[in-house]
Amino acid sequence: MPQPILQITEIEKSFGEVKVLSGITFDQFPGEVIALLGPSGCGKSTLLGIIAGIENPDHGNILWKGSRINDLAPHRREFGLMFQEDVLFPHMNVFENVAFGLKMQKKDKGYIHEKVEEILGLVGLQDLKERNVNTLSGGEQQRVALARSIAPQPGLLMLDEPLSSLDRALRDRLLGEIRRILKELNQTAIYVTHDQEEAFSIADRIVMMRAGKVEQIGTPEEIYNYPISSFAALFLGLSNLIPGKVIIDNNQSIVDSALGLIPFSGDYQDSITLLIRPDSAVINGNEGLILAGKIVEKTFQGNFCHVIITTNATELKFNFLANTDIPEIGEEIKFSINLDGITPILET
């Protein structure tokens, strides 16, 4: 197991009487891309500013390669930053914008020319190097900003909601490109976003934040498949949360809930909340938890159809493939829920 390159330990930050960050702790490994994910106002950008040296923590330590850097000036940390509105230099062309950081490092002209050509090739802009940046599309400008950020080879690249001003189709395409570029360069990076799909697309691990604290840390698969709390589940769009009480019948754990008795494996006691995944239902299925209900909403969303069903006075939301034969709104429906699609939520 490699040693962490960045260690964030018990970071605290307040502005006046408002506590913005509390006990933030996580490690990052060389070449790893971490996403700071959470709703607006949860402290993601403040934490990024503290790591960059723009803000000072009230308490806690930031270690880079094992050395404490709390008091190190931002320009001496050799970190790179890319913001949501990362304004390019309008009086410089594409090549000159990308070369800027290398000139500040006082690299020789030969090295700068070679490095900029390499980076422009990596981001697919080699044919636009002499273009005025004001004539570029939004996606092209963001790629120039990324190229300018990575050209000086920062030890850590920090990206603060860099794609939030772009439309969804362009954002999805650039996410794939950014992920590819970061991995080709083995670039250690922190990516700040409030969008779960962005975080899932780009990150090796996710640090989910809530009200200035770390809610959960894990790979995208771990975060999605096993959210640790009701907040985490709801933030990820997983809203089928069913409270119940665990009872034991013939050494079998069963959850007594509004949906009836649900067989369940695991050593749990007393109250529990079950998450039912939106892709776990089968129309007219005969295995698992078998239910009947009524369709109250049905929305076509491209590859799938989003359906809301009421059953036992409980509203459940499911996604079915678009070609599934689904009853119309107001009609009765029989369906089953795969028991593998039911996950315990340990914190409410």
Would you list the domain boundaries of the chain?
Answer: 6-235, 241-345
Rounded to whole angstroms, what are the CA distances from 249 to 225, 264, 288, 298, 344? 28, 11, 18, 38, 19
Model pLDDT, residue 40: 92
For residues 271 and 246, the answer to whether their CB atoms sit within 8 Å is yes
| Average pLDDT of the residues in 271-282 | 94
Backbone Cα Rg of the chain? 24
Pick from 59, 63, 45: nearest CA to 13: 59
E-state strands within the chain? 6-15, 18-28, 33-37, 59-64, 67-68, 79-82, 156-160, 189-193, 205-210, 213-218, 241-249, 252-257, 260-263, 271-276, 281-283, 289-300, 304-311, 314-321, 332-337, 342-345
CATH 3.40.50.300 fits 6-235, yes or no: yes
Secondary structure (3-state) at 116: helix
Model pLDDT, residue 251: 74
Helical pair 94-104 and 138-150, crossing angle rounded to 10 deg: 20
| Average pLDDT of the residues in 204-226 | 97
Q: What is the pLDDT of residues 143-171, one digit of tens each?
A: 899 999 999 999 999 999 988 878 888 88
Model pLDDT, residue 264: 79
Token readout for 151 is 């050209």
Q: Which residues, other chains included, contact 13 with Cβ-Cβ below 8 Å and sequence gap of 6+?
A: 19, 20, 21, 43, 46, 47, 50, 55, 57, 58, 212
Model pLDDT, residue 348: 60
Q: What is the pLDDT of residues 18-41, one digit of tens each?
A: 999 999 999 999 999 999 999 999
Res. 250: pLDDT tops 80: no
For residues 88 and 133, the answer to whether their CB atoms sit within 8 Å is yes
Secondary structure (3-state) at 76: helix
Model pLDDT, residue 86: 62
**Widest distance between CA atoms in the chain:** 78
The count of other CB atoms within 10 Å of the CB of residue 336 is: 17
Q: What is the pTM of this model?
A: 0.90
Model pLDDT, residue 253: 81
| Average pLDDT of the residues in 222-234 | 94
CATH 2.40.50.140 fits 241-345, yes or no: yes
Res. 204: pLDDT tops 80: yes
